[in-house]
Chain A
Amino acid sequence: MSKQRLTAIALWLAFLASGAYFAVAQTPVVTDLTAFLPRSDTSQTHRLLGELQQGPASRLVLIAIAGDTQEHSAALSKQLAADLRANPLFVRIANGERAKNLAGYERLLRYRYLLSPREDAQRFTTEALRSTLRQRLRELASPLGMLDKPLLASDPTGEARAMVGAWMGAGGPARRYGVWFTADGSRALLLVETRAAGFDIDVQQQVIDDVHAAFDAARTTHGGASDAKLELSGPAIFAVKSRDRIRGEAQLLSIAASVVVLIILVTAYRSARILLLGAAPLFTAITAGIAAVGAVFGHIHGITLAFGITLLGVAIDYPIHLFSHLRASYGVLNSLLRIWPTMRTGVLTSVVGYLAMTTTDFAGLTQLGLFAICGLLAAAATTRWVLPAVLPGHWAPHAQPPALATRLLRHLPAARSTQRTALTLWVVALAVLFVATPPVWESDLAALSPVPAAERQLDGHLRSELGAPEVTHLVVIRDGDVQAVLQRSEELSRRLQRLVDAGSIDGFDAPNIYLPSVVTQQRRQHSLPDATTLRRALDAAMQDTPFRRGSFEPFVAAVAESRSLAPLRPADLAGTPPGLRLESLLHAQEGTWTALVLLSGVRDHAGFAAWFAQQDVAGARYFDIKTETNRLVVEYRNAALARLAIGAALIVALLWPALRNAGRLLRVITPVGMAIVIDLLALTLLGERLSLFHLVSLLLVVGIGLDYSLFFSRPGDDRDTRARTLHAVLVCAGSTVAVFGILALSDIPVLHAIGTTVAIGVFATLAAAMVLAPQPEASARNNSH
């Protein structure tokens, strides 16, 4: 081996080793979705979306126990809840058990006259007390009355019940055997809140494991014979499942794809050496891509990595071009140098296309572009400098051009009339596409979710049974002063209650339900009578009743004490059941307090938005999260679309100096343009709704397509070279269509979108490039452009 060759190999190995070290050791793979949110955007909407993704709603896990008798399921629910309450991963476990929940309220019972929503001072007059006492007497006589009897002496007006009732909400699931069940009684229900954010996937995986372990333990203590099944749902569960599903499916599909590519390569070249060397540029590309993204961003997003590797699928085409064009008589280096200018143009056009992608505000797309650019350059460089250094000087897999290609070439290029027909058909397709069946855009983020529809349906079902907030409509109130936030929340609640009464919304959840503002608590204190007044009214009310004199002294004392209690503030509720609710609806960040008022059952979105606009509550904004998210999806897509157009313009600009021939430029661009239009038409006819992922896949189709038509349109190639080119392109296209065709079989919308788009697009490019290929020259000339 010459010194030059050894230097090339040594440099490559050194690059590969350091790149691999950097990629593996220095570049963490992150999976939190905010990385795919706009990079420099500081608007309130996007910040809020980010917060909500980390926020309370994302931390809810809905649990159902199904498949056993109600009695067993209830026992399992109680045991599971007890077990999880001892687990520090959880901050709240609710399964409907009343006694245990009330235990947490005891601390707050003293404050019942400050926290109960009742404010009517009339309830302490003689008249009102007399009627209240009569009611209590009736209850005492009933067998159910003894349940409330322990509080009767200190709370005859039922203030504690009113307080807890407001916190529990009007509805709540039905209870059987003391715990929550679905209305049809088929499942016991639990609602748990995790300490970690919903998209902290590693911790959420631990949460899932712990819930399953606790459930299995509970089942074992109940004899182990139970048929009960555990069903989990919620954003965190979806995030974990999505990751597992994508990972599992990607692994399975990539194994299948590798096997198919292997078979194609073995059939095409019948050489073990090629299998080994063909993979070298691809591996170098992946290493370079990860290392480059890691160096610029400090981490690589999981989506970039998965998607980027499929984008690099074109990297395997470079060695294939080389292998097919190898001729023993020319030697490896000369064979390479003859096709290198064409290959170089192909690489550079692809790189320019991805360059446009890096200029977006979306960190995800920028990473993707950088990954593809560095990967493609590394793959091309490996093919150009490393493969000739490794291959024996005059080695060639085929002495003669492969027979299949030679035979096929006899029918190529198509007659002028066929070319004309093809162009006419294309124009018709173009017209049909943009007039009759314009592409349909997908702007519903849910449609891109890898979670199967059945599981999303179960989630919706459990959510409505549990009355768990689905954060789609909410009002956000911000202010530096927590009391100001609470007072505005109170004002808004009063007005929202009118909408509830009128039936235009189902309900709402607001922080002031759990903790009224200090002003409101003080107003309630001032409305309480002093001990003398209350005792006088009470004594009068007790006349003609069988109640023993002095029975209600604890009541008089409690009211008197309430008048001088210090009003409760957020920190005082810590650790109590309403305190946990409050934390999820009211929090401080960098000196700003944020209150969330969650709305449920908003049917007329526009009507509500119009109503809200008239309310004029300072610092309050209404968000329709679904609309906001979908708007973000559209923004994201438009950014990709604009960059696609810029990329296309850059590609043409780059091709002109490389080709210096208007006719050839047209011959190179036309097949690619045809393929894109046919691809879009086919996708639309297949009922696909186009998303960001289709668009980025089209960029890959453009890159691959330019490569094919650049090779096909080389002027001055002889029949032998033309046959070798055809062979290379057939192998490239065959493996690409096979790999992406397999990807198209996936149930995961994103993988399906990429697979379908690329497989159809590459097939269409191949067909168009073959049909529109120019006549070959009679003999070889050294014109390789």
Chain B
Amino acid sequence: MTFTTARARGTLIAVLLFAQGTATAQRGDTGWDVAALAQILQARPAASARFSETRFIELLDEPLALNGILRYQAPDYVRKEVLAPYHEVFEARGDQLFHESEDRGRQSFLLDEHLAVRAFVEAFRATLGGKLDVLQRYYTLKLGGDQAGWSLQLRPLDRDMKKVVSTITIHGAGAEVARIESLETGGDLSVMTIQPDGE
């Protein structure tokens, strides 16, 4: 990593704006709405992918880079395993969240202990499962693009969640999710790119 946080952020915001622009331009195509997207996503019962994530944080001179494996299994299982630079696992099944790390071992939590935690997990899990009703409980949704290249923007509804996250944008093509961008309220940004494996 040699480029600075500020430069990286500038680049990314430009990318985001561009994506929004394309989305708006292609609006009006018949039959493409959130329900149609949900239907496509629902048709996939399982997915597995490698991810690489870059987090741009105000307090840090350099962005943090992570990579690992994502897995989804319908109806309610998601797993994020960080392989580098250290090992850490997040796993959600039903109402339970499991966290496994080298120093703390495996711990389990109730997802609903904290609304923000539930909202984070659902941004990912409910999107992959095409569960619109669940997503709409925590976010207002805005869809752009078309089936070949779409972007779904989530804005939190909860007051406490708003204090932390400003938007989460998910980009994809068809049933594949390609990139997840989280813009935090303080200006920090996280970008996760996803490459499906085994296909």
Contacts and interface: CB of A to CB of B under 8 A. Distances in A.
Contacts of B61: 546-548
Interface string A142-168: 111011011011000000000000000
A147 B103 CA distance: 20
A1 interface: no
A283 to B, nearest CB: 63
A178 B163 contact: no
Contact of A547 (B59, B117, B186): B59
A99 B160 contact: yes
A138 interface: yes
A152 B59 contact: yes
A153 B163 contact: no
Contacts of B114: 98, 147, 175, 178
A174 B60 contact: no
B74 to A, nearest CB: 22
B110 interface: yes
Contacts of B59: 140, 152-153, 547-548, 551
Contact of A178 (B115, B120, B184): B115
Contacts of B86: 138
A344 B29 CA distance: 107
Contact of A150 (B64, B159, B163): B163
Interface in A127-150: 135, 137-138, 140-144, 146-147, 149-150
B60 A178 contact: no
Interface string B104-134: 0000001011111110100000000000000
A46 interface: no
Given A99-B160, A150-B163, A174 B110 contact: yes
A175 B110 contact: yes
Nearest to A152: B59
A144 B160 contact: no
- Interface residues of chain B: helix, strand, loop or mixed (majority): mixed
A744 B143 CA distance: 73
A36 interface: no
- What is the interface of chain A mostly: helix, strand, loop, or mixed? helix
A177 B112 contact: yes
Given A146-B164, A150-B186, A141 B55 contact: yes
Nearest to B86: A138
A587 interface: no
A621 interface: no
Contacts of A140: 55, 57, 59-60, 64
Given A141-B66, A149-B186, A547 B60 contact: yes
A548 B63 CA distance: 11
A176 interface: yes
A330 B129 CA distance: 103
Interface in B80-118: 80, 82, 86, 88, 90, 95, 99, 101, 103, 110, 112-118
A102 to B, nearest CB: 10
Given A178-B112, A547-B61, A551-B59, A144 B117 contact: yes
B70 interface: no
A177 to B, nearest CB: 5
A176 B95 contact: yes
Given A99-B160, A175-B112, A551-B59, A143 B120 contact: yes
B41 interface: no
B60 A546 contact: yes
A138 B60 CA distance: 12
Interface string B134-170: 0000000000000000000000000110011100000
B62 interface: yes
Contacts of B88: 138, 142
Nearest to A549: B61
Nearest to A100: B160
A431 to B, nearest CB: 65
B165 A146 contact: yes
A351 B159 CA distance: 73
A149 B59 CA distance: 10
Nearest to A179: B112
A176 B120 CA distance: 15
A175 B55 contact: no
Given A137-B60, A175-B110, 15 more contacts: A138-B86, A138-B101, A140-B59, A140-B60, A143-B80, A143-B90, A150-B163, A150-B186, A153-B59, A177-B115, A177-B118, A178-B112, A546-B60, A546-B61, A548-B58
Interface of A: 70, 74, 98-99, 135, 137-138, 140-144, 146-147, 149-150, 152-153, 174-178, 546-548, 551
Interface of B: 55, 57-62, 64, 66, 80, 82, 86, 88, 90, 95, 99, 101, 103, 110, 112-118, 120, 159-160, 163-165, 184, 186, 188
25 contacts: A98-B114, A99-B160, A137-B60, A137-B64, A138-B86, A138-B101, A140-B55, A140-B57, A140-B59, A140-B60, A141-B64, A142-B88, A144-B99, A144-B120, A149-B184, A149-B188, A174-B110, A177-B112, A177-B115, A178-B112, A178-B114, A546-B62, A548-B59, A548-B60, A548-B61
The 7 closest A-B CB pairs, nearest first, are A176-B112, A175-B113, A546-B60, A551-B59, A546-B62, A99-B160, A178-B115
